Amino acid sequence: MNIGFLIIPSKDFSSKKPFKNERENIFLKKFSIVGKKNGFNVISCCYKDYCNKKIKRAWIFDKNWKKAYNKKIDLIYLYFRFNTKGNKNKKQMKKLKLINNPYLDEIGWDKYLTYKIFMKYMPDSFLVNNKQELEKAVEKIKTEKVVLKPRHGSRGWHIKVIDKKDLPDKIEKNTLAMEFIDTSKGIKSLGIKKRHDFRVLIVDGKIDHCYVRIPKKGSFLANCAKGASKIFIANDKIPKEVVKIVKKVDDRFKKYKPRVYTIDFLFDKGKKPYLIEFNSQPGAFYYDNHEEIRARYFENIFKAIKDYLKNK
């Protein structure tokens, strides 16, 4: 069975590999190898090269990267924002089986939608479009620092942590102003003593694995691509409050299968977890010295895909 792994590549088709970033190529290579083991051919292409259940041109990993043309596909794994405006292939994609549901994708992309659905577990957040709206929002935010992030986005793009007294003169439309969670006390139950975020990866309702990300010195951003380090945590060590929130979140998504997503948490004063973000298209780039965890994670993803197809 052929899975079309649809991406927005960094380079055009003249490149020898799908991505400019080698970590992303390794991720896709490992994913393809595990897929092949489970009876799936992973065919990677720019979403613009998909048309009418076929991929015009693509990359396939078979001992090394090879180019392929006019490949029929049975499933689509989206690795770009499905609801991008102007996507002429959207209706065609809906005719095929999608591994990651567009509804989950939209929640992950739209940070304000995430907040509206899960505000019970999140820091106070306000959607602002200009400085005047920001000033009103700041009056309602209790913390002295404020987090500004684009409503739509991922991977820590354009996130800023500012003091209330240093509000910018200009605000982009669709900016989310959030209460600042001070994570400097770490996570007491895990012995973490630094700023952090805590990521949980879920496959069909089960916690697959998790890790803590520690920002580089002087930074609040816990993205590994921005210099953060990663500490893997055994599942039986996950704080009980996190497990409870994950269950509540996943209960809302039970009808969507297969479902693969992540939830990011911050711990306030070392104890209380706050849900911060939701990601329906998680990568798996930084598994140095923990490749066995990534391999098991991929196995579980393909198991979820097979269970979905069996019951479809």
Question: What pLDDT, on a 0 to 100 scale, did the predictor assign at position 84?
Answer: 44
| Mean pLDDT, range 216-220, rounded to an integer | 86
How many angstroms separate the CA atoms of 211 and 235, rounded?
Answer: 9
pLDDT averaged over every residue in the chain:
90
Same domain, residue pair 22 and 61? yes
On the question of pLDDT at 90 being above 70, the answer is no
**Which tens digits make up the pLDDT trace of 230-278?**
999 999 999 999 999 999 999 999 999 899 999 999 999 999 999 999 9
How many angstroms separate the CA atoms of 77 and 32, rounded?
Answer: 12
On the question of pLDDT at 101 being above 50, the answer is yes
3 state DSSP class of 61: strand
114 torsion bin: left (phi>0), alpha (psi -120 to 50), beta (else): alpha
| Mean pLDDT, range 289-301, rounded to an integer | 97
Domain hosting residue 168, numbered range: 124-179
3 state DSSP class of 136: helix
Instruction: Confirm whether 138 is domain-assigned.
Output: yes
Instruction: Confirm whether 110 is domain-assigned.
Output: no
Local confidence band at 100 (pLDDT 50, 70, 90 cut-offs): confident
Question: Which among 269, 192, 252 has a CA at the least distance from the CA of 228?
Answer: 192
* Contact status, residue 46 vs residue 63, Cβ threshold 8 Å: no
> Which DSSP letter does residue 110 get?
B
Same domain, residue pair 271 and 170? no
Question: What pLDDT, on a 0 to 100 scale, did the predictor assign at position 7?
Answer: 85
pTM for the structure as a whole? 0.92
User: 144, 179, 214 — which closes off a domain?
Assistant: 179
How many angstroms separate the CA atoms of 71 and 123, rounded?
Answer: 46
Which residues does residue 55 pair with via DSSP β-bridges, in sequence order? 50, 71
Instruction: Confirm whether 108 is domain-assigned.
Output: no
Count up the domains in the chain and report the number: 3
- Whole-angstrom Cα Rg for the chain: 20
Instruction: Confirm whether 69 is domain-assigned.
Output: yes
User: 132, 160, 179 — which closes off a domain?
Assistant: 179
* Token pair 């780039």 in the structure block, residue: 285
Same domain, residue pair 168 and 241? no
